[in-house]
Amino acid sequence: MIRLCRRFFLCRGGNTLQMMTTPIEAARKGNADAFARLYDEHHLPLFRFAWRLTGSIADAEDIVQECFLALLRPDCSYDAARTPLRTYLFGAVRNQALKRFRSREDAADPPSVCDRRSPESEALQVETANIVAAAIRALPDLQREVLILAHYEQLTLAEIAAVFEIEVTAVKSRLQRARATLREALAEHAGRTHERH
């Protein structure tokens, strides 16, 4: 049985038929509250993902903004019957980041993590974060993206598979390779650091 999104409401004037709209449909029709709810629910994890892919706050903000604007356009390819909104948006962020990398001449040289000035007590923490971020950036693209979605954004393997349009087993394989490569890179760095001291 197909469930229709219709409800009857009793009004003073008798029964009326009202169509229930999704938040996306409402936002596309200009409902600012619906758009704000969508944005509030999804923008922070999307921003973190975009930032980790690009290393740039400005690029991450632009990418997320473009994804939400694209979602509101009538020609948007999002289909709620095919994929959850969250999965679609993560895929859109990934695609926007890839477009930016391809359009830049310096795409082979990924941006470095922002230099954050901190008190001496936080210097070690900042150095460690920079080392881990550099090791993650050095991973092959697909491994890096799968690792970020799994560990930082905590998407399930099935959600990640939907974002990349690949099988769950392929996601598992890439995630295992990413972890192994990252472990080797960090162990190598720790060995170099230990030798210096």
pLDDT digits (tens, 9 = 90+) for 108-151: 555 444 444 445 536 667 777 788 888 888 899 899 999 999 98
pLDDT: which is higher, 52 or 173: 173
Output the pLDDT for position 120.
53
Using 50, 70 and 90 to split pLDDT, how confident is the model at 173? very high
Q: Please tell me the pTM assigned to this model.
A: 0.58
User: What percentage of the chain has pLDDT greater than the value 70?
Assistant: 76
Domains of the chain from N-terminus onward: 11-111 (1.10.1740.10), 119-197 (1.10.10.10)
Output the pLDDT for position 196.
59
Residue 69's nearest CA partner among 44, 41, 93 is 93
| pLDDT of 78 strictly over 70 | yes
Tell me: the pLDDT tens digits for 140-163? 989 999 999 998 888 899 999 999
Output the pLDDT for position 167.
95
**Average pLDDT along the chain:** 79
User: What percentage of the chain has pLDDT greater than the value 90?
Assistant: 23
Q: Which residues of 27-43 are buried (b: 16+ CB within 10 A; e: fewer)?
A: bbeeeeebbeebbeebb
Range from 15-24, 33-42, 166-175 that averages highest in pLDDT: 166-175
Q: What is the dihedral of CA 28, 37, 60, 91, to 10 degrees?
A: -70
Using 50, 70 and 90 to split pLDDT, how confident is the model at 5? very low
Phi first, then psi: what are they for 167, rounded to 5°? -75, 155
| pLDDT of 10 strictly over 70 | no
d(CA 58, CA 77): 26
Q: What angle do CA 51, 180, 50 make, to 5 degrees?
A: 10
Output the pLDDT for position 6.
41
**Secondary structure (DSSP) of 122-148:** GHHHHHHHHHHHHHHHTS-HHHHHHHI
